[in-house]
Structure 1
Amino acid sequence: MNLKEIASKQIQDSIETKKAVLDTLLPQIEEAGKIASEVLKKGNTILFCGNGGSSCDASHIAAELVVRYKSGNERRALPALSLSADSAVLTACSNDYGYEFVFSRQVEAFGKPGDLLVGLSTSGNSKNVIAALESAKKIGMKTISFLGGDGGKMKGMADLDLIIPRKETARIQESHILIGHILCSIVEYELFQLG
């Protein structure tokens, strides 16, 4: 296999994954956008969490809501927070309680009834995201999971699951960020009529 074939195969796999998302997840993506929009319309906050690349996706999507998604869409800032962003909280909680609790501890601190927690996990087996979902439910928050493969242990825990029907982490993450962008686009349309 040469370098062109390596690149071509990954691009083709990405296209096929996104086609599968289009064919199987469109109603759930639309519902996720409606949930996020309603939460924000009521003045509530969206919290995001994930590990590794999913942590970066959590921060990325939160930033699109706080700042703006589409260039030229001038609007007010929206309350969104990535629970992966504060290194002092992450390291203190890991040291004092264990890494399993780094997100649930923050959900307890920042989450309120009516807020939304979006948990990202390509495997669906991230213990700290599972703990965050459990904490969010106790508080009375709405929950959405971005998952992959068979959904893992997280399947069915959230109010809404968005499960990418693939096993390869890279393809799942590419689709998660696409769905995150669509969610932001729906929010900007629903709240501000911005296209």
Structure 2
Amino acid sequence: MSLQDRIISHFSDSQQIQQDSLSSLTEIIEFASQRLVSTLLNDKKILVCAHGRAIACAQLLVSALLNQYDRERPALPIIALYNDSVTMTAIAGDYHFDDIFSKQIRTLGQAGDILVTYSDGQQMSNLAKAINVAHDKEISVIAFTNSNETMLSTLLDETDIELHIPTSHSAYALESQVLITHCLCDLIDHQLFG
């Protein structure tokens, strides 16, 4: 296979995963955006945790809501739980790496907030613990998952939303997470600001 054929293959495979995601997730993405808007309208906040390469996707959501997505508008309350390396390494050193998000959620989270988790399909025990603590605090969850993951899906309850990307290929799953994140940002802006 030539280099150009490999490039064409990457584009084609990515487009197919995104088309599959569109077919299975359109209503769920709409519902997730409505849940996020409802949280914000009730003067609650969005907490976001992610690990590995999925942090890049999560950061798109955080920066778009704190700053702007497509137009100037007021900042929206969102907290990235993965940004403070001092706190994360202190928690990991004093307790365990699995606690880096759950300890922050236990302290910063309030009933009615919403937790958004992004996973790249690797080492999910810290996200699993975050979801469990969120449930203890009456915080609902929106979880980005892919076909490499089964553990997170089993932890979600009826008030949670799973945005499941139908692939086990991490890079393509991340590409779809970026697109879905952009959809969420647009839908939030549209619902809140017309």
Residue aligned with 1:13, SS = helix
Match of 1:142 among 112, 115, 140: 140
Quote how far apart the aligned CAs of 1:123 are: 2.4
By how many angstroms is 1:181 displaced? 1.0
Counterpart in 1 of 2:172? 171
Q: Name the % identity.
A: 30
- Given that 2:117 and 2:127 are in contact with CA atoms closer than 8 Å, whether structure 1 keeps it comes out as yes
Who is 1:188 aligned against? 189
Q: What stretches of structure 2 of length at least 5 have no aligned partner?
A: none
CA distance in 2, matches of 1:26, 1:157: 23
Q: Is the 8 A contact 2:99 2:126 kept in 1?
A: yes
* C-alpha spacing 1:150/1:169, structure 2 compared with 1 (3 Å): closer
How far residue 182 of structure 1 moved from its aligned partner, in angstroms, is 0.7
After superposition, the C-alpha distances for 1:103-141 in whole angstroms (9 at most, x for unaligned) are 101111211111000111232860000100011111111
Structure 1 alignment gaps of length 5 or more: none
Give the superposed CA RMSD: 1.3
CA distance in 2, matches of 1:142, 1:155: 14
After superposition, the C-alpha distances for 1:157-183 in whole angstroms (9 at most, x for unaligned) are: 231111111110000001111111111
Q: Secondary structure at the match of 1:122?
A: coil
CA contact (8 A) 2:147 2:166 kept: yes
Conservation of the 8 A alpha-carbon contact between 1:124 and 1:155:
no
The Cα offsets for residues 64-85 of structure 1, whole Å up to 9 and x where unpaired, read as 1100111xx1210001111110
Structure-2 residue corresponding to 1:80: 78
d(CA) in 2 for partners of 1:175, 1:81:
22
Aligned residues: 191
TM-score in terms of structure 2 length: 0.94
Retained in 2: the 8 A contact 1:124–1:154?
no
CA distance in 1, matches of 2:97, 2:37: 31
Judge which range, 119-128 or 171-180, deviates more.
119-128
Contact 1:59 1:81 in 2 (8 A): no
Q: Which residues in structure 2 correspond to 1:44-59 (within 5 Å)?
A: 44-59=44-59
Matched residue of 1:184: which SS?
Answer: helix
Superposition map of 1:1-195 within 5 A: 1-70=1-70, 73-123=71-121, 126-149=124-147, 151-158=149-156, 159-193=160-194
Deviation at 1:150, TM superposition (A): 5.8
Q: Distance in 1 between matches of 2:24 and 2:38?
A: 24
Q: Aligned letter for 2:185?
A: C
CA shift, 1:184, in A, is 0.8
Q: Which amino acid aligns with 2:107?
A: A
